[in-house]
Structure 1
Amino acid sequence: MAGAAVVIGASGGIGAAFAEALVDEGAFDIVHGFSRSASGDRHLDLTDESSVAAAATLVANGPAPTLVFIATGLLHEGDHAPEKALGDLEPAWLARQFAINTIGPALVAKHFLPLTPKTGRTVFAALTARVGSIADNRLGGWYGYRASKAALNMMIRTLAIEERRRNSSSIVVGLHPGTVDTALSRPFQGNVTPGNLFAPDRAAVQLLDVIDGLRAPDSGKVFAWDGAEVPA
């Protein structure tokens, strides 16, 4: 895929490995990396639309992006952990999870999708999670994370429908990376079965393989690291 690639969350475990893999692959004219912890024009805060817009303006000055990958997500923060029961719900923490997991990626789509070409294959992908599947929810708990990722999945579906009208070859998908050895999953890795905890560089390659195999009819769906479709 020629043109530019954009990685949002490029300082995180998966995002950094993904950006590095894209550079090593050499298939793009330029790889842009943005993150909240970056300084200068590489800073992007999902909760600040002006910073998302500024990043998009920078990208717009070069080759059109044909791949946009959002590698962000919030599962725990400070004293806040995934809710185990109804009594754990806190409005501010719920709103924070939706701001990062749902609204932020939607704002990235708002500012970056219009920069992608109107013809030819393009990919807009956001990290989601299997626990965001309504059909697959058999354990309950994790209210905010589940709900915000389910909402992200709906955003992806809706974006795919609109984007298809602009470019029939566009692909908008959610990607479930599995359990990756990052700060997000670290408090919960004790429950992972042997062989199912992936190093970030392996996860990045697996996700790239999934992206490479996507076709236009896949747009609007969610896929796991192994290419299997995750139910809505």
Structure 2
Amino acid sequence: MLIIESAAREVVKNWEKGDLAAAVRELSNVLTRIDEDRINHAGAIAIARAQVNDELEIDDEPLIAASENGAWVSAWIWVPSEEGAEINEPRHITIHEPQAHKPCVVETPDLQWLVLPDEGENNLTNWAGSGGTGDGDTSELIAKVNTDPALGFGHSNWRLPTIDELKSIFGHENAPKAGIFWSSSQEKGDEFYAACFNFQDGRETSEYCNNSYTARLVRSFE
């Protein structure tokens, strides 16, 4: 659904610019890829349908997000409203329930956050361009996520959060519970240090770019 929404927004954007034909062609390409995914992963869809119950339903033509070891099949999950609760009350919600060894997306007000597998354990990285000893650097991570639809959940605008964005989610239910996380904010006057946020104690820190810490990428709602 996210990739269709993105394509639809491009149609509107290009229509406003007077280039509707290009946007419609891109939308057509997206729909073609969706149809091909359903054909290529018919077995996964059949397995998913076997899980249907009173609280989980799957459309006749679900969306598919292929990954290295399988495929995600879109489904509808029934969530009953709490008695007396306001239906439109703003809440922090989880789009994809975090699971070990699988990426997921969680939301806080105004932002979506990409939680990579085994966050804080096996996905440590250096700050962009530091040439350190970690598993690549943050610029390589961003490029990888934004070019892999399965890893980026159909989006290509993931980025490092600013230090203020990291601070803003401290204590939220979908925020990290511990660990030091990179921000996009480099220390003024010192190219070798970048601002980080420690979710263990809620402190902003200045860390050497060659060090290995965690990166949780973010994107704004479109």
TM-score (norm: length of structure 1) = 0.26
Bigger proportion of residues as helix? 1
Higher relative contact order (CA 8 A, sep 6+): 1
TM-score normalized with structure 2 length = 0.27
